[in-house]
Structures are given as C-alpha cells and as structure tokens.
C-alpha cells in the first residue's frame, strides 16, 4: 500500500512509500535512458530516502517497458555533465539502508551499472541484462568493469563486456548477478524482498567489496591472458576491446577507487574518439532507417501469421529459416521432389550445425523444423499472408510464378520478390494487384545476414510497405527501404567496386594486395576472396548474359577456376581448406593480360587501393541519394554495415566520406576519371555541390 507520493523531478523520478520501504521509480520513456535530469533526480531521491528516519530500505525500479537501458546516448556528443552515472552509483552504494534494484525489460549499460551499485538485485522473468557499450565503440564507464567481475567472476564478466550481448535472467541468477527471479507484480515483489532483508537483518553486500570470485586469478593471473586472447584477436583494429580488457585487468591489480577513476577517464576518451562517433552514427541511423518519411503515421502493417517461400535454393531455404526462427509457420514450394528434398536437407543440416555448436537445443531444432512445411503443390500457399518468391533470376520464370501467386493467394496477401537486379515494377505489373507487390531483398546466407532491402515499387501500397518493414524486424532483420533501379542500393554500389578491383589488377595490384587493403581497412574479406567463396561462375554467367567482360575473372572461369568449389580461383585452396593462397599462375596471367592490353603496371599502395575502391562507390551513393533511391545517407551506411561488412567503426561509406571531407573525395574522383577515362568517376552533381558548399552528406539528414 502506498502511504505517500512525492514527485522529485516531476516526470522523471518518483518516490513513494510502502511502510518503511521507499520505492524510487524512474520514468523516462521509451527506454528510461539515464539523462542528466534523471541523474540529478536520483541523487535527490536517494538523499531523501537516506535522511528520512521512517525509511528502512529502498527499492529502485522503472516505469514503462524497461529498467534503465543505459546512459542517454544523445548526450555523448556534448561535454560530460555532473552528476555522472558514477556519482549516482556512489550515492546508492553509500546508503546505510539496503537498496534493492527491481529489474525488468533490458537493464543495459549504465542501467545495469546502477543496479550493480545497489546492494541486491531481483529481476522479472524475461529480463535481459547486459553491458552493450562495446557495440558503441565504448566500454562500461560507471563501474561495470570493476563490479561485474566481482559478482560473476572474470570469465563471465569478460564474455558479457566484450561481446556486449545481454544474458537472460536465469543465467544472471546462476552466475550471481541477481539474487532472485521475481514472479508476479514487480513492485510488490521488490517490497516483499526488502522486508525480508530487513527481517533477516541481512548484511549489505557492496559489489565493490566482494573479492571471493577474483581471489584465484589474483594468485595466478596467467589464465587472464588466455581468456583475453580470443577477444583481442576478434577486436583487431578496434580501440574499445583493448581498453575493456585493460580495465578488467585493473580489477585484479588496482585498488577499486583507482580502477574506477581510470575506467571513467578511459570511457570519456573512447567516447570522444572517432570509432565511437561512427558507431553512434550507425546506432541512430539503424533506428532512423525504420522510418519511412512519407508514410502517414496511422498506416499499420498487416499481421503475418503464415508465410510461404517459393524456391528452396540458396536463398529460399535461408529465408524460410528466418520465419521458423521467429515462430511463424512457413510453407516452401519447389518444382520437384528432388529439389525440395535437397532444400529441406540443407535447412536441417544448418539447424543441426547450430545445435552441435551449442547455439540451439535439440528441442528447439525440432520446434523450428516442425514450422517448416515443404511441398511441390503451389496451391498450398492459399492461406499465406506473405509469399516471398526466391526462384531463378529470370524474368520469364518470375512471370510464371507471379501469375500463379496472383491466382492462388488470398486477397490481402503480401507478394514479395527476392530478386537481386530485376525490375520490381515490371514484376508487380505481371499481377492484377501491383499495389500488393514489394521487393524483399535478403542477403546470403539469408538466415544469417541482418540486412533486408525493402524495395518499394511505384505502385506498392503504404500498408504493404509497412508490413514488409514490420515483418522484417520481427524476423530479426534490419530493414531499409530502397527504390527500384538495377541492383537497388547495395549491389548497385558494389558493382562499381568490382569494376575497380579488376582494373587495379591490370594497373599494378595482385588479388592479395586488393584484399589485404580492404581487410586492413576493416572489411572481413576482400572482393577476390569473396568471389572465390561465392563461386566465380555466377557473375561470369551474368556478365555473359549482359555481353559484359571482366578480363581476369573471365579468363579464370574459362580455365574452370570457379573459386573454392574447384580448389582454384583468384587463389589456390588446399584440399578441404578455405584459406586463400596466392597463386603464381594467377600473377602470370595478370601480367600477361596487362601486357597484351598495353597497360603499364605500377606499384599501388594501400591508400590508393582503398580510395580507388571506395570513392567511386561513395560517388554512386550520391547519385542514389539524388535519385531518391535511398531516403537518407544513413540508410546507405546501414546497408553497407549490415549487408557487406563495411566496418561499423568507420560508420559506413557516406559517414566515412564526411569524415575525410567531400572536397578531397571530389578532387580524387576527378583524377580517377582522367586516369581511367571512365565517366562514371566524374563527381556526382550532389557530391560536387556539397563539396563546393563545404557541407557533408550529414547535412542532408539535418534538413530532411
């Protein structure tokens, strides 16, 4: 029962009482980000509770959908203001009365750190707790690196801080991060827990004083390096993982107050750095991409209770898995029993591999497989709310399929195509209901890659578009709206990079030079290793169909060198291995081709290679913006980070361009156009205009 209500910072922090238990409730929708005024309010609320002789214990909780989900990231571009989160935590930790954090939703980052400063923690079932700072190019800055290892041990703390992934409540309970899982009403549970603590006169345990879980490592710190090594390897080129490991080491080496001070200083240095700025940009760009600027607010997506996928090939199988993973029943249609069996077999093998890795239980595999129904009878799609076509990239085949979809699906069904290059408007016009047709362009492997380009046709209805976006999010993708053109956004830009990679081979680089420059830049793979992995024959076939030619790649294919699957491509592969080994034969072929074509090769350094590969792509990005194919530069960045491995910490191609300055890029493009004679390198009008005005692409988002 509540005896008095008093609001401190009216909307942000409330204080109420139930007998001798004070309940402090924060309320800053949507995610209770810990903004400055809330920090002020919390310090004030705890001071009141401390000074009130009638208060014997405090429960800290949050209104709305989640406990504090972290610091307010929008404040990170401004100078730090006190009180900092660490000051709030100091005030809580120093309370002479027990403080219980009652958690729900996603206590993350600074939110979890506040909870770590409380003396006890309980959580509602379904709560997910984590320190995701690493995903923003940061490390915890309010005690997370010191208190978490003291509560859960170094191994688990390192895993949480270095992956940034949250853990579920039951795991948090098992590891000692929380004291109890609270069923039922959380406020009541918090108060009951507080009363129990008081009745039992349980001592107040401050996480900072706990030493038991670190004692063994202090005596023998060698395992620390072993634990850290894989994280450091994975975070190569990144500042935050190195800094986080260092801070965790302080938990073993330094007095806790020194460690906390250094942690805060390092956090601020990272926060002010370029890598964190780029990652913040992607965080907000991803959320912005979910918004469609000209879609009326009241347009709602339709419910998708049942999905169907046409074609169980490379893409269809992976697409179907996404639905099964999200608990949505899905029917896969194939032309014949053999193709169907093969497709379903691949799906099962993928799930079994996840189970073998420990990423999924056997039960979960069975549940997902049970949601997938394979058939050769296309009539079975009659009750699907969404059908995604993933058949051969051939207009005639698509026409045949969409004719059938038009006849067989119920009215109101969303008809989607996964085409990579074909004209979505032409596809939609093959039906009597073009407004129901939309592109849903997944990336390979479709069950893994997060990007989903949602291709908006000229006639796509607003609610169909909204449905494609919402179902995309439901199946765990990052959907981005794009317009109709050859290759949409991602592949259209990639094409420019592919053309340049080939050119660079003739001009003076070898495949390993080009790939090496891109991996050093931060891409997981370069174009040649990637081509070998995907199979060089696919693009060869496409080029032949278009009457196009790529000198080196075509000759390799003519020799039967299709990449990894034939053991040879741009590189050599030892039997069963995936490691590319430079091949002197390929070098000879490149030199001979250059000579035959009269190209005088010269050494190219990595900077030149990167500029030649990325600047033309950025230029194409500018054209894409001007044509309205992408809504905003941030959308292009999200596409490249989630679909093509552009290093997140460089913020995507358009953000990267701004960081270099557009005048420099314009001038280099003019040189490239002269050098190669390729008119595509002439600066796009938008890029030239922005460069002239001393603006960046970001200025377009500010005015939109």
Site membership for ligand 3HC, residue 136 (CB under 6 A): yes
Whose Cβ is closer to ligand NAI: residue 127's or residue 418's?
418
Q: Shortest gap between Cβ of 106 and ligand 3HC (angstroms)?
A: 4
- Please state, in angstroms and rounded to a whole number, the distance separating the CA atoms of residues 575 and 561: 14
The only residue of 19, 176, 313, 645 in contact with ligand NAI, by rule CB under 6 A: 313
How many degrees, rounded to 5, is the angle at CA 305 between CA 490 and CA 332?
A: 65
For residues 71 and 110, the answer to whether their CB atoms sit within 8 Å is: yes
Site membership for ligand NAI, residue 564 (CB under 6 A): no
| Stretch binding ligand 3HC (CB under 6 A), from 29-37, 349-357, 416-424, 666-674 | 29-37
For residues 501 and 613, the answer to whether their CB atoms sit within 8 Å is: yes
Whose Cβ is closer to ligand 3HC: residue 132's or residue 511's?
132
The only residue of 204, 292, 295, 339 in contact with ligand NAI, by rule CB under 6 A: 339
Q: What is the 3-state secondary structure (H, E, C) of 404-416?
A: HHHHHCCCCCEEE
DSSP 254: S
Catalytic residue among 6, 11, 133, 520: 133
The only residue of 41, 98, 107, 140 in contact with ligand 3HC, by rule CB under 6 A: 140
The dihedral sign for the CA sequence 109, 652, 531, 599: negative
User: For 230, how many CA atoms within 13 A lie in the half-sphere containing its CB?
Assistant: 7
Q: Shortest gap between Cβ of 28 and ligand NAI (angstroms)?
A: 41
Residue 63 CA, chain-centre distance (Å), reads 27
Site membership for ligand NAI, residue 285 (CB under 6 A): no
At 16, list the tokens.
Answer: 């109420």
Q: Shortest gap between Cβ of 334 and ligand NAI (angstroms)?
A: 5
Site membership for ligand NAI, residue 444 (CB under 6 A): yes
- Please state, in angstroms and rounded to a whole number, the distance separating the CA atoms of residues 221 and 199: 40
Site membership for ligand NAI, residue 420 (CB under 6 A): yes
Q: Shortest gap between Cβ of 340 and ligand NAI (angstroms)?
A: 8
Footprint of ligand 3HC on 108-127 (CB under 6 A): 108-110, 113
Out of ligand NAI, ligand 3HC, none, what residue 313 binds, judged by CB under 5 to 8 A for its kind, is: ligand NAI
Q: Shortest gap between Cβ of 557 and ligand NAI (angstroms)?
A: 17
Out of ligand NAI, ligand 3HC, none, what residue 638 binds, judged by CB under 5 to 8 A for its kind, is: none
Ordered DSSP codes for 307-336: EEEE--SHHHHHHHHHHHHTT--EEEE-SS
Whose Cβ is closer to ligand 3HC: residue 133's or residue 620's?
133
Catalytic residue among 93, 113, 500, 611: 113
Whose Cβ is closer to ligand 3HC: residue 56's or residue 159's?
159
DSSP 673: H
Site membership for ligand NAI, residue 312 (CB under 6 A): yes
Site membership for ligand NAI, residue 489 (CB under 6 A): no
Site membership for ligand NAI, residue 418 (CB under 6 A): yes
The only residue of 117, 132, 487, 647 in contact with ligand 3HC, by rule CB under 6 A: 132
- Please state, in angstroms and rounded to a whole number, the distance separating the CA atoms of residues 32 and 29: 5
Tell the residue number behind the tokens 């794009």, with chain if given. Answer: 482
The only residue of 171, 314, 470, 701 in contact with ligand NAI, by rule CB under 6 A: 314
Site membership for ligand 3HC, residue 33 (CB under 6 A): yes
Whose Cβ is closer to ligand NAI: residue 261's or residue 342's?
342
* 3-state DSSP assignment of residue 695: coil
Whose Cβ is closer to ligand 3HC: residue 144's or residue 531's?
144
In this structure, the dihedral spanned by the alpha carbons of residues 137, 141, 144 and 147, taken in order and rounded to 10 degrees, is: 150
- Within 8 A by CB and 6+ apart from 633, the residues are 621, 625, 654, 655, 697, 698, 700, 701
The dihedral sign for the CA sequence 382, 388, 392, 398: positive
At 357, list the tokens.
Answer: 């890795």
Out of ligand NAI, ligand 3HC, none, what residue 136 binds, judged by CB under 5 to 8 A for its kind, is: ligand 3HC
Q: Which of 642, 645, 515, 641 is nearest to 579 (CA)?
A: 515
For residues 512 and 582, the answer to whether their CB atoms sit within 8 Å is: yes
In this structure, the dihedral spanned by the alpha carbons of residues 390, 391, 393 and 395, taken in order and rounded to 10 degrees, is: -110
**Residue 113 is a catalytic residue:** yes
**Residue 133 is a catalytic residue:** yes
Q: Shortest gap between Cβ of 341 and ligand NAI (angstroms)?
A: 11
Footprint of ligand 3HC on 81-100 (CB under 6 A): 85
Out of ligand 3HC, ligand NAI, none, what residue 329 binds, judged by CB under 5 to 8 A for its kind, is: none
Out of ligand NAI, ligand 3HC, none, what residue 287 binds, judged by CB under 5 to 8 A for its kind, is: ligand 3HC
Name the burial class of residue 309, with classes exposed (0-12), middle (13-18) and buried (19+) by CB atoms within 10 angstroms of its CB: buried
Site membership for ligand NAI, residue 419 (CB under 6 A): yes
DSSP 141: -
Contact string (CB under 6 A) for ligand NAI, positions 392-411, x = contact: xx---x--xx----------
Q: Shortest gap between Cβ of 155 and ligand 3HC (angstroms)?
A: 21
How many degrees, rounded to 5, is the angle at CA 384 between CA 381 and CA 388?
A: 80
Tell the residue number behind the tokens 């491995």, with chain if given. Answer: 645
- Please state, in angstroms and rounded to a whole number, the distance separating the CA atoms of residues 685 and 356: 53
| Number of amino acids touching ligand NAI (CB under 6 A) | 25
Site membership for ligand 3HC, residue 431 (CB under 6 A): no
- Please state, in angstroms and rounded to a whole number, the distance separating the CA atoms of residues 184 and 179: 16
Q: Shortest gap between Cβ of 608 and ligand 3HC (angstroms)?
A: 37
Q: Cα-atom radius of gyration of the chain, to the nearest Å?
A: 28
Site membership for ligand NAI, residue 344 (CB under 6 A): no
Q: Shortest gap between Cβ of 542 and ligand NAI (angstroms)?
A: 9
Site membership for ligand 3HC, residue 28 (CB under 6 A): no
Q: Shortest gap between Cβ of 477 and ligand NAI (angstroms)?
A: 13
Distance spanning both ends of the chain, measured CA to CA: 49
Whose Cβ is closer to ligand NAI: residue 397's or residue 408's?
397
Q: Catalytic site residues?
A: 113, 133
Positions that interact with ligand NAI (CB under 6 A): 310-316, 333-335, 339, 390-393, 397, 400-401, 418-420, 441-444
């Amino acid at each position: 029962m509540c005896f008095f209500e008093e609001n401190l910072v009216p909307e942000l922090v409330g204080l109420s009482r139930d007998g001798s238990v004070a309940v402090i409730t924060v309320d800053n929708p949507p995610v209770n980000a810990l903004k400055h005024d809330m920090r002020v309010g919390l310090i004030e609320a705890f001071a009141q509770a401390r000074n009130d002789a009638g208060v014997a214990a405090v429960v800290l909780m949050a209104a709305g959908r989640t406990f504090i989900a972290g610091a307010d990231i929008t404040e990170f571009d401004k100078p730090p203001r006190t009180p900092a989160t660490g000051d709030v935590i100091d005030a809580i930790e120093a309370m002479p009365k027990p403080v219980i954090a009652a958690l729900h939703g996603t206590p993350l980052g600074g939110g979890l750190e506040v909870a770590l400063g409380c003396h006890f923690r309980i959580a509602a079932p379904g709560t997910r707790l984590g320190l995701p700072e690493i995903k923003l190019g940061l490390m915890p800055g309010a005690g997370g690196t010191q208190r978490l290892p003291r509560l859960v041990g170094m191994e688990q703390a390192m895993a949480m801080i270095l992956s940034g992934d949250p853990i579920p409540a039951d795991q948090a309970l098992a590891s000692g991060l929380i004291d109890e899982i609270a069923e039922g009403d959380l406020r009541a549970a918090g108060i009951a827990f507080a009363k129990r603590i008081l009745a039992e006169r349980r001592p107040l345990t401050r996480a900072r004083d706990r030493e038991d879980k670190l004692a063994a490592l202090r005596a023998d710190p060698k395992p620390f390096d072993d634990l850290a090594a894989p994280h450091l390897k994975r975070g190569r080129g990144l500042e935050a993982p190195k800094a986080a490991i260092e801070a965790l080491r302080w938990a073993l080496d330094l007095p806790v107050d020194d460690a906390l001070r250094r942690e805060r200083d390092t956090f601020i240095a990272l926060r002010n750095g370029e890598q964190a700025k780029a990652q913040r940009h992607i965080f907000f760009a991803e959320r912005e991409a979910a918004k469609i600027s000209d879609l009326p607010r009241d347009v709602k997506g339709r419910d998708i209770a049942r999905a169907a996928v046409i074609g169980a090939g490379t893409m269809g199988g992976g697409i179907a898995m996404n639905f099964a993973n999200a608990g949505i029943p899905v029917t896969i249609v194939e032309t014949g029993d053999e193709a169907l069996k093969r497709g379903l077999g691949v799906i099962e093998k993928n799930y079994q591999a996840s189970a073998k890795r420990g990423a999924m239980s056997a039960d979960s595999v069975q549940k997902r497989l049970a949601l997938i129904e394979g058939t050769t009878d296309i009539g079975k799609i009659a009750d699907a709310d969404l059908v995604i076509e993933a058949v051969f990239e051939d207009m005639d085949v698509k026409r045949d399929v969409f004719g059938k979809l038009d006849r067989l699906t119920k009215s109101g069904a969303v008809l989607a195509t996964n085409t990579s290059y074909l004209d979505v408007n032409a596809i939609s016009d093959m039906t009597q209901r073009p407004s129901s047709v939309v592109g849903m362009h997944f990336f390979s492997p479709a069950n893994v890659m997060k990007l989903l380009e949602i291709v908006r046709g000229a006639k796509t209805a607003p609610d169909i578009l909204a449905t494609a976006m919402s179902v995309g999010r439901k199946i765990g993708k990052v959907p981005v709206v794009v317009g109709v053109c050859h290759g949409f956004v991602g592949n259209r830009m990639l094409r420019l990079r592919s053309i340049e990679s080939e050119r660079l081979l003739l001009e003076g680089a070898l495949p390993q030079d080009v790939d090496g420059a891109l991996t050093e830049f931060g891409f997981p793979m370069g174009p040649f290793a990637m081509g070998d992995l995907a199979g060089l024959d696919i693009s060869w076939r496409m080029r032949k169909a278009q009457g196009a030619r790529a000198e080196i790649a075509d000759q390799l294919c003519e020799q039967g060198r299709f990449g990894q699957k034939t053991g040879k491509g741009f590189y050599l592969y030892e039997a069963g291995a995936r490691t590319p080994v430079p091949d002197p034969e390929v070098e000879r072929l490149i030199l001979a081709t250059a000579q035959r074509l009269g190209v005088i090769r010269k050494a190219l350094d990595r900077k030149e290679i990167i500029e030649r590969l990325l600047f033309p792509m950025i230029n194409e990005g500018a054209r894409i913006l001007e044509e309205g194919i992408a809504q905003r530069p941030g959308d292009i960045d999200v596409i490249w980070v989630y679909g093509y491995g552009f290093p997140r910490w460089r913020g995507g191609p358009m953000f990267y361009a701004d960081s270099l300055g557009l005048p420099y890029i314009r001038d280099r493009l003019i040189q490239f156009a002269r050098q190669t004679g390729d008119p595509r390198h002439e600066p796009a009008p938008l890029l030239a205009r922005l460069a002239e005005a001393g603006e960046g692409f970001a200025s377009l988002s500010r005015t939109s």
